[in-house]
Structure 1
Amino acid sequence: MSDTPFGFSNRDDDERKRDEDAARGRAENPSASNPFGFAIGGSGVGGFDPAQLGQMLTSIGQMLSGMGGVGGPGMPSGPVNYDVAKRLARQQLGASVNPISQGQAKAVADASHLAELWLDAATTLPAGATRTVAWTGNDWIEETLPTWKRLCDPVAQQISSMWTASMPEEAKEYAAPMLGMLGQMGGLAFGSQLGQALGQLAKEVLTSTDIGLPLGPSGTAALLPTAISEFSAGLERPESEILVFLAAREAAHQRLFAHVPWLRQQVLGTVEEYSRGIKMDFSSLEAAAQNIDPAALADPARLEEILAQGSFEPQTTPEQKAALERLETLLALIEGWVEVVVTEAIGDRLPGAEALSETLRRRRATGGPAEQTFATLVGLELRPRKLREAAALWRRLTTDARMEQRDGVWAHPDLLPDSTDLDSPAGFIDRVMGGGATAFDDPLAQLAETEARERAEREQGRKQAGEGSDSPKDQS
């Protein structure tokens, strides 16, 4: 993977040089400001030749109508063609996807029931799943696609704007039909990329929360028996033991997301916040599109080559970096809490639990399909970088404080440890165990107390400011 924090190369050092080269190129070659290759000096307004534009529209329309119905009536609206994404993802899985057998469904149900019984003694949070199901890879695609739409649309919106970003204003009126077609092409391209990524991911995910995000429907715990069987084949433990272990992890995630009402929105909202802030650099696409013969757009192979040359690169902002740090910390806290609670629940019941925990921890840390999918589609690496530190903090709270105090930290986002607390947890643990111990028994009371104190301080500040403003009059 890339050493850069978002999986993309950093072009900040070359940005000024690129802008200078672009300006010089436009001066030497007037068509450089004409990224779609329209003729200059024609009879159209602003030098654009409507006849040539008509040829381009005809070529693009023929190409779209030949793409399996894409571009015809009923073409899905929006920045991503999710019909294409779903179709390609299912094709990745192939036609050999076997339905869930009765034996697999019963094994998942039994493992989940046992895991829930063990978890009852390890956390104050009650069971969160209203149903437990066994999914195929196709089920995972179908059930998680609504969440993927929420996560991918912000980035796709940015990409779709590239068709008009560098187009002269006087050309947009003439090009309106073509821009609609190009928008469909952009949705098709992103949908194709998403479909390939989800198809690969559907082969490898083990549960609905395997990548740390609540991708499935609320209240639904899901395990994928076929993927779990393939995962178990490389380990020296019975598959039934691994199934119970994974069921416990899934159930612990469900308890957390169900009974910490703000958590699901906080996680997904932080990803959305990061994605909406991405600033795209389409200079490479613009350079590739200069002086293109409009007839070339009718050739799908040539068009694919152009789009490949125009791969986008995000220009990150301080706000995005802050959002990324919050997301990484939150994911680490979630995964660390799940690890500690599951370990305590299982105890010595599963001899291989510790080795399984380490295997899953390394699977996340080294970057599997989840990280690659997010680095490609959302522009960030989905990696809880401080998972070990977070697990150590929750473990110390469990040992040194009480289970009620540990779980009470989740009552409000303001009570959670931050990144610096993970690096040096002693102060945070002292606040929970020391003078703040009773407050963490009732964290909402602590929050109300903090807000009341802040209001009193603001009121005192206003009074002092008022007295200061009256003092000159008094002196007079």
Structure 2
Amino acid sequence: MTNFPFGFGAGGDPGDPSGQLPLFAELQKLLSWSGGPVNWELAKQLANQSLAGNSTIVSPADRSATVEAIRLADLWLDDATDLPSGIQTIETWTRAEWLERTLPVWTSLCDPVAARVVAAMSSALPAEQLEALGAGNPLAGIMTQIGGLMFGAQVGQGLGGLAQEVVSATDVGIPLGPQGVAALVADNVAAFGEGLERPAEEVRLYLALREAAHQRLFGHVPWLRQRLLDTVESYARGITLDMSAIESAVQGIDPMNPESVQEALTGGLFAPQQTPEQEAALRRLETLLALVEGWVDAVVAAAAGDRMPGAEALREASRRRRATGGPAEQTFATLVGLELRPRRLREAAALWWSVTEKRGVSGRDAIWSHPDLLPTAEDLDDPLGFGEKAEGFSAPDDLSELDGDAAAFGADPAPESVPEAPEDTEPKPPESDAAG
């Protein structure tokens, strides 16, 4: 029996042409997408198919427990950072709700590179081959839409995997949810705690601490959220693709044969080719992500302190999870060529630890007042040295609005500069770090 792409079949008698009409109708529906370079309708369809039976309804008890955990976490963080709460709303998401709530940000992240792929696909097939299809053929428009179709399928499969892994709205180090919304994904929080031999309430509270800490940083460092998204977009826009591989795959497609479309979807066409410019952009992004994750790790460790018996075990589990990567990082790497796993975890952790030792909590948090004050990739080469240098900084009077008077810190304002590279971190002296 013929297998058709995207999970639908022809129906009826295979020998009867009229039996193929449901297939053609579905293909026409997919190919009528005009909302951008990624067929997000197909992406959502495939992602939701992968979640069928894997996204349970959140019980009232789970919703109540999440609210209590995040409120308590936010209270504990008051002692660990000068940044005030960034939470406006608390939610508990199913896996399907995570997909729906984060889709707008995924759109902004994936569309730039997808636009390059779509342009390549639409120009790869010779004009005479398109003309051979005939203007009245129901599949005549397939080649102008095939790029968005292929990328939509890949994105959908990736997001379906992500939805079964992430534990919160900020779990991949980028703010994916609506601003000010702190959220935990109930099924994935439970999965994270399996095998750790810690009470479920403690696991939930630890992950709530991480989510609430991210929300403080993204909520009260005005430039940070957009800087992260812009840096990812900048990387994506400069991606170089293997145009010859795309052209070969497209020319091998028979628009009248759905199986040839399916084969093209699994051809691995989207592996980006790193250029020196792309490596530099990746380094900037990795550094910024490392600094974010390192700060979160530092304040969560300080807030949990002696209050949570299993805090250190949960911290180590979180580090290992980020350091080894999983479907989340692998999927993102497939989509836009980025691996969101920590590469300089120990260095960034040691840097924030050193700054806190030299300047205290207020001095550490004041570094976020302007992007020019943040450590660079070179500073991560000598994290303890940055702590010494930071002693010369003077903090602004009001850390609740870190808009950035760079002159007060001995730096020249340069709003357009972008901080440099890795992504996951852990604020402990180097000798005590066990991640990676």
Same fold, TM exceeding 0.5?
Answer: yes
1:283/1:179 Cα in 2 relative to 1: closer, same or farther (>3 Å)?
Answer: farther
Which one of the candidate residues 26, 30, 34 is aligned to 1:70?
A: 30
Pair 451,211 (structure 1): closer, same or farther in 2 beyond 3 Å: closer
5+ residue gaps in structure 2? Answer: 1-20, 399-403, 414-436
Out of 306, 313, 318, the residue aligned to residue 271 of structure 2 is 313
Size of the alignment, in residue pairs?
A: 387
How many Å apart are 1:245 and its aligned residue?
Answer: 0.5
1:19 counterpart residue number: none
1:83-122 alignment to 2 at 5 Å? 83-95=41-53, 97-122=55-80
Q: Distance in 1 between matches of 2:267 and 2:406?
A: 57
Counterpart Cα distance in 2 of 1:398 and 1:327: 23
8 Å contact from structure 2 (residues 373, 411) kept in 1: no
Unaligned runs of 5+ in 1: 1-60, 453-476
Structure with bigger gyration radius: 1
Greater alpha carbon shift after TM alignment, 338-347 vs 161-170 = 161-170
Instruction: Please name the residue that 1:286 is paired with.
Output: 247
Greater CA deviation, 418-427 or 362-371? 418-427
Alignment partners' CA distance in 2, 1:196 and 1:309: 14
TM normalised by structure 2 equals 0.82
1:6-405 to 2 correspondences below 5 Å:
65-67=25-27, 69-72=29-32, 75-95=33-53, 97-166=55-124, 180-290=141-251, 296-309=254-267, 311-405=269-363
Q: Structure 1 residues 345 and 306, CA, compared in 2 at 3 Å: closer, same or farther?
A: closer
Alpha-carbon spacing, 1:289–1:369, altered in 2? closer, same or farther (3 Å): closer
**CA-to-partner distance for each residue in 1:171-191, whole Å, 9 max, x for gaps?**
999999788532322222211
Amino acid at match of 2:120: M
Q: Distance in 2 between matches of 1:439 and 1:408?
A: 5
1:221 match: secondary structure = strand
- Return the letter of the residue paired with 1:223: L
Residue 393 of structure 2 is aligned with which of 428, 431, 437? 437
Higher helix fraction: Structure 1 or Structure 2? 1
Q: Percent identity?
A: 52
Q: What is the root-mean-square deviation of aligned Cα atoms in Å?
A: 2.8
Distance in 1 of aligned mates of 2:190 and 2:342: 26
- For the structure 1 residues 71 and 309, does the alpha-carbon distance in structure 2 shift closer, same or farther, using more than 3 Å as the test? closer
Q: Does 1:420 align with 2:378?
A: yes
1:437: how far off?
A: 3.2
Following TM superposition, by how much is the alpha carbon of 1:428 offset from its aligned partner in structure 2, in angstroms? 1.9
Residue 26 of structure 1 is matched in structure 2 by: none
| TM superposition shift of 1:283 | 1.2
Shift of 1:307: 4.6
**Does the Cα contact within 8 Å between 1:282 and 1:312 map onto a contact in 2?**
no
Q: Does the C-alpha gap of structure 1 residues 155 and 175 become closer, same or farther in structure 2, counting only changes over 3 Å?
A: farther
Q: Helix, strand or coil: the match of 2:171?
A: coil
CA contact (8 A) 2:270 2:334 kept: no
Instruction: Determine helix, strand or coil for the equivalent of 1:134.
Output: strand
| Matched-pair contact (CA < 8 Å) for 1:285–1:307 | no
SS at match of 1:314: coil
Q: Within 1, Cα distance between the matches of 2:351 and 2:26?
A: 57
Deviation at 1:155, TM superposition (A): 1.2
Q: TM-score, normalised by structure 1?
A: 0.75
The answer (yes or no) to whether the contact 2:122–2:147 under 8 Å persists in 1 is no
- Of 235-244 and 168-177, more deviation after overlay is shown by 168-177
Cα distance in structure 1, aligned partners of 2:72 and 2:314: 18
SS of 1:298's equivalent in the other structure is coil
Is the partner of 1:66 in helix, strand or coil?
Answer: helix
The answer to whether the 8 A contact 1:163-1:179 is kept is no
Q: Report how far residue 298 of structure 1 moved.
A: 0.8
- Structure 2 distance, partners of 1:147, 1:432, is 34
Q: Is the 8 A contact 1:124 1:407 kept in 2?
A: yes
> Contact 2:153–2:265 at 8 Å: present in 1 too?
no
Q: Any conservation in 2 of the 1:432–1:440 contact (CA below 8 Å)? A: no
